[in-house]
Amino acid sequence: MDVTVILCTFNRCASLAQALNSVAVSKMPESIGWEILVVDNNSTDQTRAVVEDFCRTYPGRFRYLFEPQPGKSHALNSALRTTLGDVLAFMDDDVVVEPTWLQNLTAPLQNGPWAGTGGRILPQWPCTPPSWIPIKERYGLGPLVLFDLGPEAGPLAEPPFGTNMAYRRTIFDKYNGFRRDLGPNPDSEIRGEDTEFGNRLLRAGEQLWYEPSAVVHHKVPPNRLRQHYFLRWWFDKARGDIRELGIPQDAKWSVAGIPLYMFRRLVAWTLRWVVAIEPSRRFACKIKVWSLAGGILESYRQLHARETN
C-alpha cells in the first residue's frame, strides 16, 4: 500500500459519513495503491455501522479499527501500529475533502526532500462571522481549525494542522508517534498533538512543504461561534504550549518559579482589554489574558508535580 488516510473519530457518525463520502471519490493515479483507515475511538453511536457500510460499498478501500482507550493520541498511535501505507495522510471526521486533495497532498512526498506536507483548511460558515472574532489576527481563527497561508506553494516554517497533513511513514519510525499528554480526551480538551509533532520535526531540521491545492473544507459549528469557546480554546492552547515547550527559563525574576514577566503581561493585556473599544480588538486582548492565565496555571501545575514526585 502506497498511501493510507488515517481518520480518527468519536461519536460523530453523521458528519463522519459525509467525510468518508468525500474521500471515497478521491482522484488518485491508478499506479498508486491507497486506503482509508478509520479508527473508532470507543464511540457509542452508529460509527461502526457507518464504517462497515463503506467497507462493503468500497471493498478493499476502507478498513475499520477499534481503539478502546479514549483519547485522540491513543487512536492516532494505534493507527500508526497497524497502518500499511508508505505515506500517511490525516483528516478529521467533520471535514469534506476535495477530490484532488489526497493526490495533491501526498504527491510531494513521492520524491524530494520533504518529510511532510500540509494543505489549506477553509471554513464553511453557517452564518456571517460575529464582529468580535479577530479575523485579521494571524491566528485569530485558530479555534475553528482553519489553516490558510495563501495560494503560493512553498516550504513550511510552521507545523500543519492535523486534519490536512501527511508524512512519510519512516518519519514516525524515526521520531515516534504522537504525545499522549496532548490531544483531546474525556478528561481534557488540551489539543496540540498534531502541531507538536510538526514542531518536533522542524526543530530536528526536517523539511515540510505547504501545498495550497490540497484543500479541506471545515464546517464551522454554530456552537463554536461563542466567546466562551474561543477563550477556553486559547486557555487550553497555552497550557498545551507549556507541556510541549516547558516553563520559560529565560526570566531573570520569577514568582514561585513562574517567570515574573508572565504576570506583567497578564496585567498589561488586562488593561488593554478594559480600554479597547472596537469589538474584535477588545476580544483579541481578552484572548491574550486567557492565554496568559492558562500558561501561568499550567506552569504552576508542572512545578507542583515536580515537588510532589
Residues 278 and 253 in one domain: yes
Confidence of residue 106 (pLDDT cuts 50, 70, 90): very high
Asked which of 163, 194, 224 is the last residue of a domain, the reply is 224
What separation in angstroms does the CA of 30 have from each of 17, 101, 264? 25, 16, 59
Residues 168 and 240 in one domain: no
pLDDT at 139 over 70: yes
Give the pLDDT confidence score for residue 142 in this predicted structure: 87
Residues 219 and 207 in one domain: yes
Residues 193 and 93 in one domain: yes
Phi and psi, residue 235, nearest 5°: -60, -50
- d(Cα 290, Cα 235) in Å, to the nearest integer? 5
Looking at the 3D structure of the chain, how many domains does it have? 2
Residues 76 and 193 in one domain: yes
Asked which of 166, 189, 224 is the last residue of a domain, the reply is 224
Residues 238 and 215 in one domain: no
Asked which of 174, 205, 224 is the last residue of a domain, the reply is 224
Tell me: the pLDDT tens digits for 120-137?
A: 999 999 989 899 999 888
Confidence of residue 306 (pLDDT cuts 50, 70, 90): confident
Strands 154-156 and 62-66, how do they pair? unpaired
Q: Look at the block and give the residue holding cell 514577566.
A: 261
Percent of the chain at pLDDT exceeding 70:
99
- d(Cα 198, Cα 36) in Å, to the nearest integer? 22
Q: Which cell is 241 given?
A: 504550549
**Domain around 15:** 3-224
Confidence of residue 36 (pLDDT cuts 50, 70, 90): very high
In three-state secondary structure terms, 132 is: coil
Q: Tell me, what CATH number does 143's domain have?
A: 3.90.550.10
pTM of the predicted model as reported, rounded to 2 decimal places: 0.90
Strands 95-97 and 154-156, how do they pair? unpaired
What separation in angstroms does the CA of 208 have from each of 103, 155, 167? 17, 6, 9
pLDDT at 307 over 80: no
- d(Cα 215, Cα 212) in Å, to the nearest integer? 7
Q: Look at the block and give the residue holding cell 507549556.
A: 242
- d(Cα 119, Cα 247) in Å, to the nearest integer? 31
240 CB neighbour count, 10 Å cutoff: 25
pLDDT at 140 over 90: no
Residues 57 and 174 in one domain: yes
Tell me: the pLDDT tens digits for 145-174?
A: 899 999 999 999 999 999 999 999 999 999
Q: What's the mean pLDDT in 10-17?
A: 95
Give the pLDDT confidence score for residue 198 in this predicted structure: 96
Give the pLDDT confidence score for residue 137 in this predicted structure: 83
63 neighbors 55 (Cβ within 8 angstroms): yes
